[in-house]
Amino acid sequence: MKSIDLFAGAGGLSCGLKQAGFSPLLANEWIPQFAETYKLNHPETKVVVGDVREVSETDLKHKLGVSSGEVDLVAGGPPCQGFSINAPIRTLDDERNHLFKDFLRVVSSIKPKAVLIENVPGIVSLGRGTVVEQIYKELQAMGYTVKHRILFAGHHGVPQMRFRTVFIGIRNFKHEISFPDPQYNAKAIANFTGARELCLSVPPLFAQELKPHTTVWDAMSDLPAIDNGASISPESYVLPPQNVYQEYLRDGCARLTGHYSARVAQVNLDRLKFIPQGGSWRDIPFDLLPAGLKRARRSDHTKRYGRLHPDALCSTVLTKCDPHWGSFFHPTQDRVISVREAARIQSFPDSYQFSGSITQQYEQVGNAVPPLLGKAVGDEIAKLLGNL
């Protein structure tokens, strides 16, 4: 099946869609370093580096050698900074919130059989739902049946508290659009508008039939110990795969890469001594707390300065694994998680390599769609296309 990936980033969505049987013909990414990582891992794909608003539909067709209707899927996640719950201002006037129109412009020209849009949960309430309404209106006018849901990555084997809003559109479709059912009994509290209505929940009786959730330790227990701020990755594994998840991650990969971490300052190492597995800033003596947290209520900032618990899910991997942002301290070593550990928590295979500085690599990993979530959605779209 042929696909196009817009706003492709480092290629997490393409990685998952390839596992579901899609072959990315073309990807567009405007950040050069992200595009370099994409090229490194998808050498057979044409990569257009630049603003999607400057990509002409005619040029796309010419580059791909395809006519309207020949592509199976156009997928992508328009930049989400303006949609994010964490963004200080959420407004339709933010130009980043209009890039989905350029996504739809490409869809209008290519006329793929299926459309996949992924974004942060905050998109469902942006402009009191007007962005969602506009996406439906535009796609339906092009002949697509559309549906959206909020999916939890933990339900699909990703060891992480990560939610994404997913829109699926199928052209000339006469059936109900479905979404992938949960396969893992992972639990999380969704603290955003629309969660109850749009999230797929797991009934208690059904939960007994699911696999146990993938844990932090499932993701990283086979990796060698490294020092705080290590800038050179070990190249060898010290242990064989310890579980099915590690077998998946290491499939066909003989050389370890990216296993290095940002340096933690001494003041944070002093704080870390007091933080147990699953603990947070609340375990740090008051006189050692940062000034801002000395004024915080015990109910606030629940994940800050957290040490990961080996049996739990990781908090959402962000563009910086900074202890002041969340729970990113290693379960047993006095450091933050490495780029490779963050990539594993996102479900990237070990064969996937990241280019650029350590800071840029953390950013690429944090911005990505978890490949296993992309695969789950891709598998479902492939089934839907079988009903055309």
The answer to whether the CB of 73 falls within 8 A of the CB of 118 is: no
Which stretch of 85-89, 138-142, 343-347, 356-360 has the lowest confidence by average pLDDT? 85-89
How would residue 131 be classed by pLDDT, with cut points 50, 70 and 90?
A: confident
Predicted confidence (pLDDT) per residue in 288-330, tens digit: 999 989 998 888 778 899 999 999 999 899 999 999 899 999 9
How would residue 193 be classed by pLDDT, with cut points 50, 70 and 90?
A: low
The position carrying tokens 């073309």 is 26
- Topology, domain 2-205+370-385: Rossmann fold (3.40.50)
Quick count: other Cβ atoms within 10 Å of Cβ 377? 26
Amino acid code (one letter) for 157: G
**What pLDDT was estimated at residue 113?**
97
Amino acid code (one letter) for 268: N
The answer to whether the CB of 17 falls within 8 A of the CB of 75 is: yes
Q: State how far the Cα of 287 lies from the Cα of 307, in Å rounded to an integer.
A: 19
How would residue 67 be classed by pLDDT, with cut points 50, 70 and 90?
A: confident
Q: State how far the Cα of 367 lies from the Cα of 13, in Å rounded to an integer.
A: 11
Return the structure tokens found at 29: 């990414």
Between 100 and 335, name the one with better pLDDT.
Answer: 335
The answer to whether the CB of 140 falls within 8 A of the CB of 210 is: no
Q: Where are the domains of the chain?
A: 2-205+370-385
**What pLDDT was estimated at residue 196?**
64
Predicted confidence (pLDDT) per residue in 39-57, tens digit: 999 999 999 998 877 766 6
Q: State how far the Cα of 308 lies from the Cα of 279, in Å rounded to an integer.
A: 8
Average pLDDT over residues 74-96: 64
The answer to whether the CB of 138 falls within 8 A of the CB of 166 is: no
**What pLDDT was estimated at residue 90?**
55
Average pLDDT over residues 82-101: 60
Mean pLDDT of the chain: 90
* Chain centre to alpha carbon of residue 196: 21
The answer to whether the CB of 345 falls within 8 A of the CB of 12 is: no
Residue 342 has pLDDT above 60, yes or no: yes
Phi first, then psi, for residue 365 (nearest 5°) are -65, -45
Annotated catalytic sites, by residue? 80
Q: State how far the Cα of 240 lies from the Cα of 358, in Å rounded to an integer.
A: 26
Residue 332 has pLDDT above 70, yes or no: yes
How would residue 82 be classed by pLDDT, with cut points 50, 70 and 90?
A: low
Predicted confidence (pLDDT) per residue in 236-280, tens digit: 999 999 999 999 999 989 999 999 999 999 999 999 999 999 999
Residue 282 to residues 25, 124, 268, 287, Cα–Cα distance (Å): 49, 33, 14, 12
How would residue 189 be classed by pLDDT, with cut points 50, 70 and 90?
A: confident
Q: State how far the Cα of 48 lies from the Cα of 30, in Å rounded to an integer.
A: 8
**What pLDDT was estimated at residue 265?**
96
Return the structure tokens found at 54: 């400057």
How would residue 126 be classed by pLDDT, with cut points 50, 70 and 90?
A: confident
Residue 215 has pLDDT above 90, yes or no: yes
